[in-house]
Amino acid sequence: MSTGLFGTDGVRGAWGEKLTVELALAIGDAAVTITEKDRPRAVILRDTRESGPVLEAGLAAGIAAAGGDALIAGVLPTPAAPLLLAKHGLDLAFVVSASHNPFGDNGIKIFGADGDKIADEHEAEIERLVALGHPVNSTHPGHIEPLRGAFEDYLRALHERYSSLDLSGTRILLDCANGATSSAAPEIFRRLGAQVEVLADEPNGQNINEGCGSTHVETLAQRAAEGDWDAAFAFDGDGDRVMAVDSDGNVVDGDDMLLLLAGHMTTQGSLRGGVALTVMANYGLHAAFERAGIEVTTTPVGDRNVLAALRDLDWRLGGEQSGHIIDLDTGPCGDGIGTALLALEALGGLPLVERPGFDRLPQELINVKVASQGGFEGNEVLSELIKAESALLSGRGRVLVRASGTEPLIRVMVEAPTADETHSVCSKIADAVANELGKV
């Protein structure tokens, strides 16, 4: 993968610094140029950040300047991108979002005509053209126009997929993170008959992910424990992830979801192969799948790695502990709303608290914000410490330390037999990372 403009999930950074309208224009221009089509058609959708409309306008201008047609879909969850590509026979989709990041960040994800995020080599070519300052001003500029009915297209697809799911009498609590699911999620649950209460569904451009959503699921957990809910779900800013909470206030993460979904699909005979997990999946989940006779493959962190494994193995289901779940039978992208509905389908009318469980090894994750990730690889002090702590936990737990692909963070994750040992080892390594790389 290229190492400058694009990270593990498109282009991402602070608005006004890395992410500017000029950059958006250049990316739109370059992406259209490499399609090598006379008049490619591209859809743009976004989340609710205040910088979204400006970046949307920049992308649209770049697309049209290069001779393409830009279709503006407005605020929609990221998983609507592959759906709109297929439905309207489009060539590109751009999603303006920084997912779970704070509102001051933004990003641009690009999907190809096949519904997948564009390949590494295409990212590299866009990056090369942007760096060269390669604007294409076509003698016949394209059009910029709204894509009418895009919101309903997404809802209709969900409704058709889950038309047999009757949620009448089911009490659902939703946390929409003041993001892209704020309108869509409550609407589809109500259409399916659920009684819905909604939190964090009043975006103002600056409150996306602020103390809410899947990265602050404690807010939902507190509220869920106060009421009699069959299930509660928290989405992230762009709607491709979901975390859940049961009626006892227990958090149900992506690992729990995968166990529930895989068991349901196995019973139906529809699993197709095994389950793709990332290295962040809890060891206890591996043991649970082994007992159930369900095969597992492990990938690096990132939904594109999960998707690649599913495609290579011709499997159906995979995902991340963060709640990014891919069901290839419904699409190549995580869909938080779709995953929540699939979980309810798997429960068969039971409340979420009745889900199957597994013996989870205590796990702690510390995100260390550093001045620079550049010194992480090859740092002898950190390498020796990680090696030593891993050896001490061999056969009992594990250590995983990695640089984030979307933020200036080093992520330190430790699993050990007890919570005290887990915290001790994780804190020790996190402190060393901060000392070596300069904590911000």
pLDDT digits (tens, 9 = 90+) for 286-310: 989 999 999 999 999 888 899 999 9
pLDDT at residue 440 in the model: 59
In this prediction, residues 424-439 reach a mean pLDDT of 92
Does residue 354 have a pLDDT over 50? Answer: yes
pLDDT digits (tens, 9 = 90+) for 20-32: 999 999 999 999 9
pLDDT digits (tens, 9 = 90+) for 49-104: 999 999 999 999 999 999 999 999 999 999 999 999 999 999 999 999 999 999 99
CB atoms within 10 A of CB 215: 20
What domains can you pick out in the chain, each with its CATH number?
Answer: 11-148 (3.40.120.10), 153-251 (3.40.120.10), 252-333 (3.40.120.10), 363-437 (3.30.310.50)
Contact criterion met (CB below 8 Å) for 36 and 68: no
pLDDT digits (tens, 9 = 90+) for 212-263: 999 999 999 999 988 889 999 999 999 999 999 999 999 999 999 999 999 9
Output the CA angle 364-366-369, nearest 5 degrees: 175
pLDDT at residue 3 in the model: 46
Q: How far apart are CA 362 and CA 414, in angstroms?
A: 8
Q: Which residues are catalytic?
A: 99
Q: Tokens standing for 223?
A: 């509220």
In this prediction, residues 190-209 reach a mean pLDDT of 98
pLDDT at residue 283 in the model: 87
Does residue 145 have a pLDDT over 70? Answer: yes
Q: Tokens standing for 46?
A: 């976004």
Does residue 428 have a pLDDT over 90? Answer: yes
Q: Which band of pLDDT confidence, cut at 50, 70 and 90, is reported for residue 1?
A: very low
Q: Which band of pLDDT confidence, cut at 50, 70 and 90, is reported for residue 4?
A: confident
Q: Helix/strand/coil (H, E, C) string of the chain?
A: CCCCCCECCEEEEEECCCECHHHHHHHHHHHHHHHCCCCCEEEEEECCCCCHHHHHHHHHHHHHHCCCEEEEEEECCCCHHHHHHHHHCCCEEEEECCCCCCCCEEEEEEEECCCCECCHHHHHHHHHHHHHCCCCCCCCCCCEEECCCHHHHHHHHHHHHCCCCCCCCCEEEEECCCCCCCCHHHHHHHHCCCEEEEECCCCCCCCCCCCCCHHHHHHHHHHHHCCCCCEEEEECCCCCCEEEECCCCCEECHHHHHHHHHHHHHHHCCCCCCEEEECCCCHHHHHHHHHHCCCEEEECCCHHHHHHHHHHHCCCEEECCCCCEEECCCCCCCCHHHHHHHHHHHHCCCCHHHCCCCCCCCEEEEEEEECCCCCCCCCHHHHHHHHHHHHHCCCCCEEEEEECCCCCEEEEEEECCCHHHHHHHHHHHHHHHHHHHCEC
Does residue 407 have a pLDDT over 70? Answer: yes
Contact criterion met (CB below 8 Å) for 238 and 99: yes
Contact criterion met (CB below 8 Å) for 169 and 195: yes
**Per-residue CA distances from 23 to 95, 118, 150, 312, 417 (Å):** 15, 18, 26, 34, 48
Lowest mean pLDDT among 35-39, 175-179, 387-391: 35-39
Q: How far apart are CA 439 and CA 286, in angstroms?
A: 34
Q: How far apart are CA 68 and CA 213, in angstroms?
A: 36
In this prediction, residues 403-423 reach a mean pLDDT of 90
Burial 250-284 (b: 16+ CB within 10 A, else e): bbbbbbbbbbbbbbbbbeeeebeebbbbbebbbbb
The closest of 161, 182, 281, 197 to 235, measured between CA atoms, is 182
Q: Please indicate whether residue 374 or residue 370 has the higher confidence score (pLDDT).
A: 370
**CA torsion angle for 77, 80, 85, 90 (degrees, to 10)?**
-40
In this prediction, residues 167-178 reach a mean pLDDT of 97
pLDDT at residue 439 in the model: 67
Report pTM. Answer: 0.90
Does residue 138 have a pLDDT over 90? Answer: no
